[in-house]
Structure 1
Amino acid sequence: MQKPWSAEFEQLLLDELALCDPTSSLEPDTPLAHYGLTSLSTLALSSKLVSRYGIELPAFDERAFRTPRSLWKLVVGTSGPSANGVTMSGNRIGLTDGLAGRFAAVASRHPDEPCLVDNAGALTYAETAARAAALAAAIGAGGVVAVLGEREITTYCAYLGVLCAGATIVPLSMDFPPDRNADIVRQAGARCVVHTEPRGEKPLEAQLAAMSGVPVVDAHNAPLTSWDPGVGPVTADTPAYLLFTSGSTGRPKGVRITHGNVAAFLAAALPTYRTGPGEVFSQCHGLTFDFSVFEMWGAWSTGSALAVVPRVHALNPASTIAQHGVTVWACTPSLIEAAAAAGNLAPGSLSGLRHVVIGGEPLRGKTVALARAAAPNAIIDNVYGPTETTVWVSTYRLTPADPIPAHPIMPIGSPTAGADIEISEEGELLVAGPQVFDGYADPALDKDKLIHQGDRTWYRTGDLGERDAGVLHHRGRLDGQVKIRGYRIELGEIEHAATRLLGVRTAAARIPGDHGDAGLALFVEGTAVDEPWLRLELGRSLPAYMVPDRVIATEAFPLNPHGKLDRTRLAQQMTSSPT
């Protein structure tokens, strides 16, 4: 195949990829994630491209680092058209109840305040409302609607447009393999998919081909029109969104969150932040990660701005926070540690922050110290809550004057207002209250996770916990679920996919990494395994964050005294395996 780039560009890219995978050879449309390109190496690569080709760093977005071809298109200036920064006015948003009604009320009070900001432009609340109204008219009323796009203004307008249409949102990611997104669309029963990608680009066309038969709405071509949804107001029990998390059965499972669940979360969380016009929330997380719900609705409930931050810029928080005047930064521990490892989290570099909200993974004391040094004026919250409990249900807060507790892992604190957290005899954290979901998209999954007691429903989190002096601490898991860089991963889903490909027994394990980060190893029973082939094939069905960093052949799996697989000993084998 003839390659569309210069030899100089290919060598520059190969030099960086060689740090990740010495056997790399470039194919134009193979995702860069399949070559093992990490967040840190993406940042290093972008710096080299800036230096060599004179590209301004803000030009690098999610789309650029998708494939070698897309990166080359950015270099030569032939990227697809962007609708960011388009100014629209004169149309009104559909005044439904629920989240759309919440947004409409704020937009009517603060029409000229900035609502959405990214590296390409900005929209006021009035302009965003107009864009959402136009998209709602194109989408049509009710049902379940999928949204496929990157972190950019048009995608957030599409998100709001679905809500204005009285529909339930199913966020999809361009980073997910097409077959996975197609499976999510089928499970959710989505009646259409709204995309924010330019037509004709191979990654988008592959996604849409996998969803063959599902109607498509192009968010770039929605006509300007007033919109009245023509459906009854949503209720507290109407699903607002469906998020699909990793599933132990080998398929992603849909978590159904209602407008009432989100309203209860916002009522509990927002009063502790005292934000409003003039404040700016960062938006560092994709729509498939429920931390994004706090980022979006923390801003849109209060008249604050939402600054959309692509991945490569998220690793340089000092630059992005200064550029957009961010005052509320939500992040995972891994993001803090990766930014520090890249030299982008110097003491005092985030002095403009008022709040740092950390969640998604266990938080180490040394990571808190990094955040405290960088943002000395900020209140730091360590938050805990599975997707099924609507963003978070407990908080441990540190003011700038509070000492950092002498715990290796920070407490998860006390329940938020309205949430009840109990600990079962087995040590499992159980959660009840108005934030707890009412069931999965597949009802067959409910019986193992929901406990009904009269008019109360308890969610079995699978997390182990204990109370010490009245404060909750997270103590691990009951099952094979792990958190890596904020993503919830069922090891069984990786094992199912690998076993289907190989026909032999496999086992996945979490492995420690540099700077407190962690990765994944896949162990295969046998004497040899073709690691590059297996990782490539796994990348066709699993998101990049679930593709193992290493594949290791082992003749026999270690067992614990109960005859069960000992994942801890498997992970320890990494230290003695050849690299």
Structure 2
Amino acid sequence: MSRPPTTSPPVPEAALADTGVRATWAKGAGRGDRLDTRFREIAARTPGRTAVTDARGSVTYGGLAEEADAVTRLLRGRVSPGQPVALRAGRSRSALAGLLGILGAGASYLPVDPGYPQDRQRHLLDDSGTALVLTEGPPSPGETPLAQAGPLTLTARRSVPGAPALPPDTAYTIYTSGSTGLPKGCVVGHGQVLALLDAALPLFDTGADDVWTLFHSWSFDFSVWEIWGALLGGGRAVVVDRDTAADPEAFAHLLSDEAVTVLNQVPSAFGNLVAETSATGTRLPALRRVVLGGEAMVPDDVRRWWATDTAPDAQVTNMYGITETTVHVTYCPLTPETLADARPGRTPIGRPLPHLDVELRDADGKLVAVGEPGELWVGGAGVSHGYLGRPELTAERFPPEPDGSGRRYRSGDWAVADADGLLYYAGRMDGQVKVRGFRVELGEIEAELRALPGVDGAACLLDDSGRTPALAAYLVADRAAVPPARVRNALAGRLPAHMLPQRLHYLDRLPVTPHGKLDREALSARAAAGTDQGRTAPRTTKGGGHHAG
């Protein structure tokens, strides 16, 4: 039987030291203030060590550095510091060489998932104003091939007049779902990622002997932790292709065959893995760290994991995080003790990482008392630059510190702290939810639904009445005139797979509260009752319908 620790392992005192440490982390701890610089230092010291394994085989740190250099040469003279270069590539070592090469040229990378609908890909490119695309595969219409480095082709597209400029230290821009119906780009600098790594990696005691999975899409910020945690720790990264990520059986075999030691999972994917290993008796003796993040943790899945001897020595840690504050915010090693009070709407997320601090505030911005729910306001060295080309929204969501020392991010998430300072996640304040680790603004889906001919009203929510939460859409429409298949096909051309509603309900009208607002509680009750439902078949691949990040 797996042995969960009886108490939370202590955080090293050095990692918790508060005096002067945030400024050090923000500068990259004096060991190179850029991600690519850190990587090249490791590659120069250990060129023969294996860096990445994918379906094509393995490549050493020296070999990956050479592949990245080829990309850098393509870009030199074509980019300015911080300028975004889109990376449209699947999960492969070539994509890693691409993003390293982009950074090596002084530019920043903009991940564009090739599985996204063309309209969404086009919006990301247009909104960012990028004129250069590094692509693995054929160019899209309107792109002109310029040069090639291995499987990657550099293409040029029509530049967008008046495109917003990025800070010269920008490492990447990742787009998150937007409440206005369009995704928005979050701009993150090298120093902010290095602050995360320098603060968090010591807590996991990871290093050159570790083997990490690269499980998530480059368009999901969990990938930032996976990529740089593996490579800047000098370890080996195992790239999990999309088909394997969607097949729990194949994924479990990969974990065993590659002797993976550090596994990062959104809880929905972890639940699939727990079900698979429990049913088959798969053993993962090399695994020593399981990091959960991206959506609310499912306590019962962790308890089921402990009840087997799948990975007897693996510590499971829950981490709450936000794209705007550079992936991870809190750290919570899970034990029977920390899970004792866990329940839906109250899951333990632990304490802030050493480079960040968290405050809980009420709707008026005042600090709340212990035990009272409040909005998470995050400050420290991980707070990002804000939203690309959205100064008003940036000012609203990133208010300045009173002493002028920086900014905080208003997360829109509710949490509560107990008397010992342990934080519990309590849900969203608005219409934003997490689906398979992706942050989804329900308003974006609703905007697309309302645009469909024959739809007079629409609402969307996360239906958690079953074991697996799923997006449910509510349409004021005639089902015969607007059948589920038509809705599904229309949305599939506009939204990525993780944003497609899996359940449809047809209504004569949307319920409203006495104040005339949408009554989401009434919709939730209808979902739980299973009435007026037409199920759509979401775009999935083999393996329980999980589309991995």
Alignment partner of 1:416 out of 353, 358, 374 = 353
Output the amino acid matched with 2:270: I
Residue of structure 1 in register with 2:50 after alignment: 114
- Conservation of the 8 A alpha-carbon contact between 1:196 and 1:220: no
- Conservation of the 8 A alpha-carbon contact between 1:113 and 1:124: yes
Residue of structure 1 in register with 2:117 after alignment: 177
Residue of structure 2 in register with 1:448 after alignment: 396
Q: Deviations over 1:62-113 (max 9, x none)?
A: xxxxxxxxxxxxxxxxxxxxxxxxxxxxxxxxx9850110100111111111
> % of aligned pairs identical?
35
Residue of structure 2 in register with 1:468 after alignment: 418
Say which structure, 1 or 2, has more relative contact order (CA 8 Å, 6+ apart).
2
Q: Are residue 292 (structure 1) and residue 228 (structure 2) matched?
A: no
Q: Secondary structure at the match of 1:384?
A: coil
Residue of structure 2 in register with 1:434 after alignment: 381
Output the amino acid matched with 2:35: L
Q: Are residue 220 (structure 1) and residue 157 (structure 2) matched?
A: no
- Conservation of the 8 A alpha-carbon contact between 2:175 and 2:185: yes
Q: Are residue 511 (structure 1) and residue 456 (structure 2) matched?
A: no
State how 1:81-96 maps to structure 2 within 5 Å.
none
Residue of structure 1 in register with 2:35 after alignment: 99
Alignment partner of 1:135 out of 66, 71, 74 = 71
TM-superposed deviation, 1:364: 2.1
Query: Which is worse superposed, 529-538 or 502-511?
Result: 502-511
Q: In the aligned structure 2, how far is the partner of 1:431 from the partner of 1:345?
A: 41
C-alpha change, 1:98 and 1:345, in structure 2 (3 Å) is farther
- Conservation of the 8 A alpha-carbon contact between 1:195 and 1:216: no
Q: Secondary structure at the match of 1:407?
A: coil
Residue of structure 2 in register with 1:126 after alignment: 62
TM-superposed deviation, 1:236: 9.4
Number of equivalences = 462
| Cα root mean square deviation, aligned | 2.3
Q: In the aligned structure 1, how far is the partner of 2:314 from the partner of 2:406?
A: 37
Output the amino acid matched with 2:427: G
Q: Which runs of 5+ in 2 are unaligned?
A: 1-30, 154-165, 364-373, 535-549
Alignment partner of 1:339 out of 273, 277, 293 = 273
Q: Which has the higher helix share?
A: 1
Residue of structure 2 in register with 1:355 after alignment: 289
Residue of structure 2 in register with 1:487 after alignment: 438
Residue of structure 2 in register with 1:576 after alignment: 531
C-alpha change, 1:217 and 1:248, in structure 2 (3 Å) is farther
Residue of structure 1 in register with 2:448 after alignment: 497
Q: Deviations over 1:440-478 (max 9, x none)?
A: 002232132111122221100000111012111111111
C-alpha change, 1:435 and 1:177, in structure 2 (3 Å) is same
- Conservation of the 8 A alpha-carbon contact between 1:236 and 1:261: no
The two structures have a TM-score, normalised by structure 2, of: 0.80
Q: In the aligned structure 2, how far is the partner of 1:562 from the partner of 1:268?
A: 47
The two structures have a TM-score, normalised by structure 1, of: 0.76
- Conservation of the 8 A alpha-carbon contact between 1:192 and 1:216: no
TM-superposed deviation, 1:560: 3.0
C-alpha change, 1:222 and 1:185, in structure 2 (3 Å) is closer
C-alpha change, 1:265 and 1:552, in structure 2 (3 Å) is same
Q: Which runs of 5+ in 1 are unaligned?
A: 1-94, 200-204, 224-234
C-alpha change, 1:310 and 1:433, in structure 2 (3 Å) is same
Q: In the aligned structure 2, how far is the partner of 1:106 from the partner of 1:459?
A: 33
Q: Secondary structure at the match of 1:158?
A: helix
Alignment partner of 2:491 out of 538, 551, 562 = 538
Output the amino acid matched with 1:289: F
Query: Which is worse superposed, 264-273 or 495-504?
Result: 495-504
Q: Secondary structure at the match of 1:352?
A: coil
- Conservation of the 8 A alpha-carbon contact between 1:521 and 1:571: no
C-alpha change, 1:407 and 1:216, in structure 2 (3 Å) is farther
Alignment partner of 1:396 out of 301, 311, 332 = 332
C-alpha change, 1:125 and 1:148, in structure 2 (3 Å) is same
Query: Which is worse superposed, 243-252 or 334-343?
Result: 334-343
Output the amino acid matched with 2:113: S
Output the amino acid matched with 1:506: A
Q: Deviations over 1:403-449 (max 9, x none)?
A: 74341243110000021100112321100101011210022321321
